Structure 1
Amino acid sequence: MSQTPETLAGMMLEAARKAGAEAADALVVSGTSVSIEVRERKLEQAERSEGVDLGLRVLIGQRQANVSISDTRPESIATMAERAVAMAKEAPEDAYVGLAAANEIAQNPDSAALQLCDPTAEPAPDALQADALAAEAAAMAVDGVTQVQSSTGAYSRTTVHLAATNGFSSGYDRTSRAIYTTAIAGTGEAMERDYDGDSRIFQDDLRTATDIGTEAGMRAIERLNARRPETGAFPVLFDERISSSLIGHLLAAANGAMVARGSSWLRDKQGAQVLPETLSLIEDPLRPRVSGSRPFDAEGLATAKRAVVDKGVLTGWTLDLANARKLGMASTANAARGVSSPPSPSSWNVALTQGTQSRDALIRDMGCGLLVTSLIGSTINPTTGDYSRGAAGFWIENGEIAYPVNECTIAGNLHDMLRSIVPANDARSYLSRVVPSLLVEGMTLAGS
């Protein structure tokens, strides 16, 4: 018998039944990845990995256990199933665990429509190295760049197959092609670094290595001669490169697992305003050629477009089956899992309503404040929403960029920050999180 991901999943389910499981699901993840890193025009590191990982979740009554292995021999799969059943018998009962009902699972999911896999052949290592070298050369060609910390070309292809005793069985392939470069400007204690990179499903969509290297170099030299900003209350503009982190905090707080534990700062905010009424946050896992897309979730439910926030109002929670049952709600088909863990809620592609002004226009309107281009560390209280992070970027004076800044801290509370955000119109539509630069009208800055 050919050991395809589908047949391996079937073997696990059959072994689980023979071992005494009442229900089970099986996840197979196989793939190849290649990464080539260069430094000073020489090969620094080359990595290639290939593997198959198997994950089996078994249920006996309201008890469950999860076991994973990377050995595809039939006898190993049988031992895996026996071990999982033995573990499940000793596990505590959980009233909320269980597979999806047969009428809940996705019917004939169309992964091809999502264009998750580039049919182009895997690039040769020489091609990846050529990209890394070209990006490095472009960064070094920027006046003021003294070295390139690293420049990498990478490729991966992954196959995922999920099957369960409720009748679900489907899978898809996913590819990724990437180039990343980190440039350093200046010397001694005055050195500054910055980066650029791109990752796409289709190789033809990837930005050029020269563009990426040049941008990394320009960003590095722009940070030279940085100083600390003033201390006080100022408007803060989160650059598009890092603005999605703010939306990430909202998504984390709307995660059903956090809400079910009562530990989310949004726990009482369903149906309440959490963003300006002109803004919506739309999740769409069915966008073609986007890394966060998928035709079904980790429990076999069909994914679908939904509004997380509709005209500023939080519509509900991000849910898998177990947390939906805890909260007396329906799953939003947002279950995610690895081979060694049971499902838990996760967000897919999201897009925030874009504004009508450019980033430059927002800078002009700021007067005096901080443009943040990188964030360092994190102190976020998930229960209260208190926010404090190290930041670097540029000081805005009289509506213009005056000088680079670093070694400062920005602080506020996510409740207030998110309700006052003003978006620019510069979001990149091909990202999984389409979020423009975001202006927060008032935050506390600790600088000099």
Structure 2
Amino acid sequence: MTSEIDSASLLARAGELIDLAKAAGADQADAVVVRSRSRSVSVRLGKVEGTEASESDDFALRVFIGQKVASVSANPGFDMKTLAERAVAMARVSPEDPFACLANEQDLTRNYPDLDLFDATEVPTNALREAALEMEQAALDVSGVTNSSGAGTSAGFGGLVLVTSHGFSGSYVASRFGRSVSVIAGEGTKMERDYDFDSRLFAADLDDPKLIGRRAGERVVKRINPRQVDTGSNVTVVFDPRIARGFVGHIAGAINGASVARKTSFLRDRMGQQVLKAGLHITDDPLIVRGSSSRPFDGEGVAGERLVMIEDGVLKHWFLSTSTGRELGLGTNGRGVRGGNSVTPSSTNLALEPGDVSPEELIRSVGNGFYVTELIGQGVNMLTGEYSRGATGFWIENGELAYPVSEVTIASNLKDMFMRITPANDIDRKYGVASPTIAIEGMTLAGC
């Protein structure tokens, strides 16, 4: 992939687009190229079901005339002068947006770090195929597994090229390699499904296909013959790390400046107040070397820094881009992501920092409760915090995982859940959102 990542020509074309836009009458402009290359193989029951390859360099030009803004996009081969003139013509007839703007010049980074995000390893298609087949077979070899939903492998990269009219010019690229498998255990109406996966920036860091397959098989076999449990209140629910990562995503959504500006977050009036249990910390760091969601600069050319978003349970920061910050009377903190004619804020490498106890100790401390391994449905209201999700997992009895459970609903309010989190110490930071096992007290469980 080495020869494919030379961004010099794309930087030159983006710079030319800026010049043409200004010549056509734009006051300011920025040009973005979103790059992607990928190959993937999918198999099922020992046979290849699909082999795909894709590549694109998608251009987007955003222009400003006063407080009016417009954006146009195109694939390679477009006529740059026509595109620039079209963007300016669209901006002239657009309504004013009081918050639309480029990043302030003093916020732009001039010297951004090399975060070691790119692995030039070429993975041949036949190697992708063999890994997928090996992974699936390892899962099928687990006693009790009866069928396969398929396995897949992928390799590729994505990147960003950004040029602005007020002096920023930069690019970066990050590779991505993945493996996943899903299998079935049981028969007829008693079938259960589960999966396992791995995704890394560097091919050599991927878990062995046999290990991934075996984990998937062992997970699904444990779910055979689930029971139902009685409805109860004040139940302690333990979230498996895979599920806890999604829960941390709810925290991120609640402290996103865009949601705050739209008044759609239940934490919109809580800056500087206790929003998590004392002792808990939420961090976000875009500059982790080889971090899954690291980036040397954001979608506006601003370098972010590590932030403790929530410190000792107290809310310290929103995720902010320049325009969102302006709407809230604040400055950007380098969390902007370009999308269409706007830049919206987002987290980078987000983590609920771990506690001091092992997951086994945490489960023992629960006594009786519910360990969640899968959630169903989208019953989360970010305006009110109301939380209600279908769930499957295992009943905790006398501090041990006793038997599989399905067809239950767990419910509470995120405001209360945030204040009742107890984290274990088993955090894995290889994904863009990281969380240890967590226990949340005082939830309602609706069973049979």
TM class, shorter-length: over 0.9
Cα distance in 1 between the residues matched to 2:445 and 2:282: 28
TM alignment of 1:71-220, pairs within 5 A = 71-73=76-78, 75=79, 77-110=80-113, 112=114, 114-120=115-121, 122-220=122-220
Q: What residue number does 1:69 align with?
A: 74
Encode CA deviations 1:170-191: one digit per residue, 9 max, x unaligned. Answer: 0011100110000111111111
Question: Contact (CA 8 Å) 1:239, 1:437: kept in 2 or not?
Answer: yes
TM alignment of 1:10-25, pairs within 5 A = 10-25=15-30
Cα distance in 2 between the residues matched to 1:270 and 1:259: 10
Code of the aligned partner of 1:57: R
SS of equivalent to 1:8: helix
Cα distance in 1 between the residues matched to 2:100 and 2:159: 26
Relative distance call for 1:36 and 1:173 in structure 2 (3 A) is: same
Q: What residue number does 1:253 align with?
A: 254
Q: What residue number does 1:308 align with?
A: 309
Q: What residue number does 2:365 align with?
A: 365
Cα distance in 2 between the residues matched to 1:409 and 1:102: 50
Give the unaligned 5+ runs of structure 2: 1-6
Cα distance in 2 between the residues matched to 1:387 and 1:334: 27
Cα distance in 1 between the residues matched to 2:155 and 2:333: 32
Give 1:3 shift.
7.5
Matched, 1:284 2:289: no
Question: Contact (CA 8 Å) 1:386, 1:413: kept in 2 or not?
Answer: yes
Relative distance call for 1:104 and 1:129 in structure 2 (3 A) is: same
TM-score after normalising by structure 1: 0.96
Matched, 1:376 2:379: no
Cα distance in 2 between the residues matched to 1:140 and 1:263: 45
Give 1:300 shift.
0.7
Matched, 1:40 2:45: yes
Cα distance in 2 between the residues matched to 1:27 and 1:44: 35
SS of equivalent to 2:146: strand
Give 1:352 shift.
1.7
Code of the aligned partner of 1:27: V
Give 1:4 shift.
2.1
Question: Contact (CA 8 Å) 1:8, 1:72: kept in 2 or not?
Answer: no
Give 1:367 shift.
1.4
SS of equivalent to 1:258: helix
Encode CA deviations 1:171-227: one digit per residue, 9 max, x unaligned. Answer: 011100110000111111111010000000001111000000000011111111012
Question: Contact (CA 8 Å) 1:8, 1:28: kept in 2 or not?
Answer: no
Code of the aligned partner of 1:84: A
TM-score after normalising by structure 2: 0.96
Question: Contact (CA 8 Å) 1:5, 1:29: kept in 2 or not?
Answer: no
Question: Contact (CA 8 Å) 1:363, 1:396: kept in 2 or not?
Answer: yes
Q: What residue number does 2:239 align with?
A: 238
Matched, 1:222 2:227: no
Give the unaligned 5+ runs of structure 1: none
Question: Contact (CA 8 Å) 1:41, 1:133: kept in 2 or not?
Answer: yes
Question: Contact (CA 8 Å) 1:5, 1:160: kept in 2 or not?
Answer: no
Give 1:431 shift.
2.1
SS of equivalent to 1:279: coil
Cα distance in 1 between the residues matched to 2:26 and 2:56: 27
Count of paired positions: 441
Task: Tell me the percent identity.
Answer: 45
SS of equivalent to 1:4: helix
Give 1:71 shift.
3.1
Code of the aligned partner of 1:78: K
Question: Contact (CA 8 Å) 2:353, 2:427: kept in 1 or not?
Answer: no
Encode CA deviations 1:276-322: one digit per residue, 9 max, x unaligned. Answer: 22111111111111221001110111111111001110002111111
Code of the aligned partner of 1:243: A
Q: What residue number does 2:3 align with?
A: none
Alpha-carbon RMSD: 1.3
